[in-house]
Amino acid sequence: MGISVRNVTKAFGSFVALHDVSLEVPAGELVALLGPSGSGKTSLLRIIAGLDPADTGVILFGGEDATRRDVRERRVGFVFQHYALFRHMTVFENVAFGLRVRSRAERLSEREIGQRVNELLKLVQLDWLGDRYPSQLSGGQRQRVALARALAVEPKVLLLDEPFGSLDAKVRQELRRWLRRLHDEIHLTGVFVTHDQEEALEVADRVVVMNHGRLEQVGTPEEVFEHPATPFVMNFLGNVNIFHGRVESGKAHLGPISVDYPEHPDAESRPAAGYTRPHEVDLARDESAGGGLWATVRGLNAAGAVVKLELDSQQGVIQVEMARDRYEGLHPQLGERLYVRPQKVRVFVAD
């Protein structure tokens, strides 16, 4: 079941969390709401769930207007950032909760409830922990219980609020992959909120980048990473090197570097900046290839699969990442002057 968000605005007193936001979540897709703190992503998720009301706008579930519906009626599975497990109930009772509070007409027999709960616990690989209390589980285990509990009521939509935020790095990675595999298995429409761009790019079918209550860009992980629509998106999704300059007559002049920029054919000169990722920069010992600038190596970190360098130039600090074999071939030294050649520059004009 797909979700449509149309023209939603939300303010808390004088703080505007969402400005006229519209978004389509196609059925069966896993969508990430990505952005820094205060970008409005959690507010949007909670409005979709019905936990907070929108000031204006509509929410449609499968084409039906759900805006007036109470959270109880929306049949969403919501997984909270801090799990919100019922402390005084066992894992089994937590997962069974949604099934047990149903009206008599809809309720399953205890035996059927037991079967369903055990199936779900097996799905999340916690079937051996049914009798434990949340306080006896690790963070990763609690998260999976919260997920099982949300899935028990067979929701049309799964909503997750920073699901892996409070976990260790290693556990986070495992659970990320596990969530992706789970989604591939059950094909539930899902929306999750995260501030971790690596997580969004790795897990989601579609990424929605948000900033200050507005959508910056919506696209597949590859689209937003390779073809960022705005400087914010580019900056947020990874490290960048910025070269300041101007555009005029179809060309961008960024210090000693010049690139074609047909989007601005006018002769009128406008300020602009060129953005390059650290791995899209090559280093050389001479300037025969052209299109670059000289810089001095000020920092070198060779520990890891990727070697990181920091160089000082007249355009500021430049960060470079290069593969190990390239590093071993070039063998740059601290203090050495090298020619920096950006391979790919995205130009954004100031407006």
Helical (H) or strand (E) element with 273: strand 270-276
Q: In DSSP terms, which residues pair with 194 in a beta bridge?
A: 34
Interaction of residue 178 with other proteins, rule CB under 8 A: no
Nearer to other proteins, 40 or 221 (CB): 40
Using CB under 8 A, which of 130, 134, 278, 332 touches other proteins?
A: 134
- C-alpha to C-alpha distance for 281 and 301, rounded to whole angstroms: 16
Return the range that interacts with other proteins (CB under 8 A); candidates 65-73, 200-208, 240-248, 271-279. 65-73
Q: How far is the CB of 134 from other proteins (least distance, A)?
A: 6
With both helix axes pointing from N to C terminus, report the angle between 91-100 and 110-123 in degrees, rounded to the nearest 10: 130
- C-alpha to C-alpha distance for 339 and 282, rounded to whole angstroms: 8
Q: Which of residues 29-48 bind other proteins (CB under 8 A)?
A: 37-38, 40, 42-43
The site that binds other proteins (CB under 8 A) totals a number of residues, namely 41
Q: Which of residues 139-158 bind other proteins (CB under 8 A)?
A: 142, 146, 149-150, 152-153
Q: In DSSP terms, which residues pair with 217 in a beta bridge?
A: 209
Interaction of residue 58 with other proteins, rule CB under 8 A: no
Interaction of residue 337 with other proteins, rule CB under 8 A: no
Interaction of residue 82 with other proteins, rule CB under 8 A: yes
Interaction of residue 12 with other proteins, rule CB under 8 A: yes
Query: Nearest to residue 290, comparing CAs of 245, 258, 247, 243?
Result: 258
Q: How far is the CB of 146 from other proteins (least distance, A)?
A: 8
- Residue 208: partners with Cβ closer than 8 Å, 6 or more residues away: 23, 31, 32, 33, 34, 215, 217, 218
Return the range that interacts with other proteins (CB under 8 A); candidates 83-91, 174-182, 291-299, 318-326. 83-91
Q: How far is the CB of 285 from other proteins (least distance, A)?
A: 46
Alpha helices in the chain (DSSP H): 41-49, 91-100, 110-123, 139-152, 169-186, 197-203, 221-226, 231-236, 324-330
Alpha helices in 204-267 (DSSP H): 221-226, 231-236
Interaction of residue 104 with other proteins, rule CB under 8 A: no
Residues that bind other proteins (CB under 8 A): 12-13, 15, 17, 37-38, 40, 42-43, 49-53, 70-72, 75-78, 80-82, 84-88, 97-98, 101-102, 134-135, 142, 146, 149-150, 152-153
